[in-house]
A and B are shown apart, each in its own frame.
Chain A
Amino acid sequence: EAQVTQNPRYLITVTGKKLTVTCSQNMNHEYMSWYRQDPGLGLRQIYYSMNVEVTDKGDVPEGYKVSRKEKRNFPLILESPSPNQTSLYFCASRLQGGAGANVLTFGAGSRLTVL
């Protein structure tokens, strides 16, 4: 089944404890992206990647890091999480060109709470 898989789905952590949210897609998509969703704010892009070793900042990159060493994986790293990073996180992917570039496929979401 074509999908984007995120782990963990739920996580409670404490301020300052480094964590990584993994994201993997099996559709051979070039483009991958991370969003965070907060009540009343919709989805805001954190980082995106157009291909292996190509990443760039989105609208709210502060406090996050990403890497794209392989095409299928795009982990989101919080080096020193803070309570304002408590949110619902989505990983998404799509093709870079052609008709498939119009559809962004989302993972199921990862709900993160930072105490």
Chain B
Amino acid sequence: AQKITQTQPGMFVQEKEAVTLDCTYDTSDQSYGLFWYKQPSSGEMIFLIYQGSYDEQNATEGRYSLNFQKARKSANLVISASQLGDSAMYFCAMRGKGWAGSYQLTFGKGTKLSVIP
């Protein structure tokens, strides 16, 4: 069974500073993928970044980077130069294997990030 753990229910960060949101995972699959989604107060789910288990380099998308440490089974999200619009709930998720090549997505419980002016 897969499991995603986000140990920080809430975090605060000063505007323009960097922040790291923690995510650890557990899986017996050799091939898997890790995702981060953002959920602003309006409720929609916004895809941020993806890291495959065989990707050699950490994924980056603009101000978002994923600090992937395979041996430690961690996939932390780093947001550089925080902006007020970054205030939101952030979910870490993992895909595992399913039949016929499909996969299901398992989500963590989320971290609420608040950016302080």
On whether the two chains bind one another, the answer is yes
A50 touches B105 (CB 8 A): no
Indicate if B101 sits at the interface (CB-CB under 8 A).
Answer: yes
- Across chains A and B, the number of contacting residue pairs, with CB separation under 8 Å, is 50
Of residues 77 through 117 on chain B, the ones whose CB sits less than 8 Å from some CB of chain A are 91, 93, 95, 100-105, 107-110
* Segment from A69-77, A79-87, A102-110 that makes contact with B: A102-110
Q: Which of A40, A41, A109 contacts B43 (CB 8 A)?
A: A109
**Interface size bucket, A side?**
20 to 34
**Interface size bucket, B side?**
20 to 34
Given contacts A88-B43, A108-B43, contact A102 B104 (CB under 8 A): no
A45 touches B105 (CB 8 A): yes
Indicate if B44 sits at the interface (CB-CB under 8 A).
Answer: yes
Binding site for A on B (CB under 8 A): 4, 33, 35, 37, 43-45, 47, 50, 52, 91, 93, 95, 100-105, 107-110
21 residue pairs bridging A and B, Cβ less than 8 Å apart: A33-B105, A40-B109, A42-B108, A42-B109, A42-B110, A43-B45, A43-B91, A43-B107, A48-B104, A50-B100, A92-B45, A96-B101, A102-B35, A102-B50, A102-B52, A103-B50, A105-B47, A106-B37, A106-B45, A109-B44, A109-B45
